[in-house]
Structure 1
Amino acid sequence: MDCKIIVAMHKSCEVPVDPMYFPLQVGAAGKDVLIPLNRKEPVARDDTGENISEKNPSYCELTGLYWAWKNLQAEVIGLVHYRRYFERQDFSDGLYHLPIDDILSEAEAEELMERYDIVVPKRQKYYIETLYSHYAHTHYREHLDVTREIIREQCPQYLDSCDRIYRQRYGHMFNMFLMRRELVDKYCRWLFPILEELERRIGGENLSAFQGRLYGRVSEILFNVWLEEEKKQGKTVFEVACIYIDKINWRRKIISFLRAKFLGKKYERSF
């Protein structure tokens, strides 16, 4: 099985040695080549072939997804980040490994694809927030309101799933997945026209650089909408835990979450 998982990256770091992983410099347009810390050759770039590399400041890792959709020939395509991967499934050796060595292997990915249609990150729970209210408190609610209107106009059969996902208190986030090429094609054909219309209607020029990443963030919720429809059609979905290569400042993240919820303080940095 020809399986390739895009590793979206924008700075030099260690990359997996497993040949299944395909490091890709996202937002490469106008940038110098990117050489991983554990390699001597630069990685592939998302400004080659058919691409939207210049949209990376607002589309985030989606410029990598677009590039893979248009240019990468593989039976199975996945997307992860240089700081966040799917965790390996076999811990039977009982040994300690560095995080970069505890990621999903090619053999495990192939086994999962033999059994399931779509692999996603384990659901992230918000408890006191819905996906809609969390986005509204940390970013701007009109982004999701306009998105819903576009769905109503372009693909009204998804509207019920959209409303349901907006009300959920959990989601499969980070724009991470693993699925066969035909499903990637179906997803991208649905996703990018919605984002293009959203971009046409709301722009984003007056937002800070952090808040300007809105199309990448909205797509995290849209993925859940699309996934809901695929499950209705009988597609099987399997959740895999994420492993973080860098440490997360959980204290700052939790405080910022509560400040956004109760004090209206929107996010202006990552954690």
Structure 2
Amino acid sequence: MGMYVVSHKKIEKEFPKDYKTIIVNASVNKVCGDFYDNTGDNITEKNGSYCELTAMYWIWKNRLDDFVGISHYRRFFLDGTKLLSMEKAKKIVESGKIIIPEKESFNNKIETKYWMTSGYKTDLLVIRDAINIYSPEYIEDYDNFMHQNKMHCYNMIIMNKELYDSYCEWLFGILKIVEENLDSQHKGAEDRRGYYKRVYGFIAERLLNVWIIHNNCSTVSYPVLFTGNKQSLGNKIVTKIGKLKDKYIG
């Protein structure tokens, strides 16, 4: 059991018991961690566009924990004034619940927020088509969710491993179809720059919410402690360009 702290660099801080670091893009980022996403069954080469999902995939395929937690080197579940302890998390998970971040609210619908800040409008059609192919029973929940203006962000979760494996099988099954179709349209990760390359990480944030809704999961939400800098000027510029791009190009 434990909380996997996803990072691409060495972390200079002490964590509570059972917090372990997993280094992503580990063939390139040669820093010390507890685990590395380039061993065993892995997709480490996709890290540029899959972000923390390469760690999630590795845990799915290579670990036999009772339960799994995912956080980031600069984002953590906050319990009062301290990081959430795994002892407390375990009790919640053993009661059948999933731990997720508190929802964040947007000024726009989730589908609008996506193409304004994270990708192309056409991505949403590809995602919907992939769901319709892989698991059409999720379509209604996907459509309803994308018209809301609140969501759980950051791909942060804590759940039992059986449920985690089920989620990952569904998630990566859909992403495989999405990736194939975006590549065929020349809108895959290799055709995007900077911030936009993280496309599959952005998509997964939305899909986690859809999966939770469809499976009627019982959840407990915690606030997220953010320990890094806010969005960089470069990313802000990319976001602004993206808004103009989709307004006039689509």
What TM-score results when the alignment is normalised by the length of structure 1? 0.81
SS of residue paired to 1:175: coil
Name the counterpart of 1:56: 47
CA distance, structure 2, for counterparts of residue 23 and residue 4 of structure 1: 10
Q: Secondary structure at the residue paired with 1:87?
A: strand
Residue deviations 1:4-28 (CA, integer Å, cap 9, x gap): 1111100122244323112000111
- Superposed, which structure 2 residues align to 1:1-16 within 5 Å? 3-16=1-14
Q: Which amino acid aligns with 2:3?
A: I
Name the CA distance, whole Å, in 2 between partners of 1:109 and 1:149: 36
Give the drift of 1:259: 5.1
2:164 counterpart of 1:173 = no
1:208 is matched with which residue: 165, 169, 193? 193
TM superposition shift of 1:260: 7.3
Structure 2 residue ranges without an equivalent (≥5): none
Per-residue deviation, residues 70-123 of structure 1 (Å, max 9, x unmatched): 11111010110000000024x5xxxxxxxxxx2111222123223342110000
Are 1:237 and 2:219 matched, yes or no? Answer: yes
SS of residue in 1 equivalent to 2:15:
coil
Aligned residue for 2:165?
185
**Is 2:2–2:18's contact at 8 Å kept on the other side of the alignment?**
yes
Task: Point out the structure with the larger helix share.
Answer: 2
* 2: CA distance, partners of 1:133 / 1:140: 10
Following superposition of structure 1 onto structure 2, how do residues 247-266 of structure 1 map, counting pairs within 5 Å?
Answer: 247-248=229-230, 264=244
Q: Which residue of 2 aligns with 1:227?
A: 212
Which of residues 228, 242, 245 is equivalent to 1:246?
A: 228
Question: Percent of aligned pairs with the same residue?
Answer: 31
Q: Tell me the distance in 2 between the aligned counterparts of 1:23 and 1:191.
A: 23
Relative to the length of structure 2, the TM-score reads: 0.88
Give SS of 1:48's match.
coil
CA separation in 2, counterparts of 1:264 and 1:248?
22
Cα drift, residue 249 of structure 1: 5.7
* Partner Cα distance (2:39, 2:68) in 1: 18
Larger displacement relative to structure 2 (55-64 or 147-156): 147-156
For 1:16 and 1:265, locate their aligned partners in 2 and report how far apart those are by CA, in whole Å. 43
Matched, 1:135 2:120: no
Aligned-residue offset at 1:209: 2.9
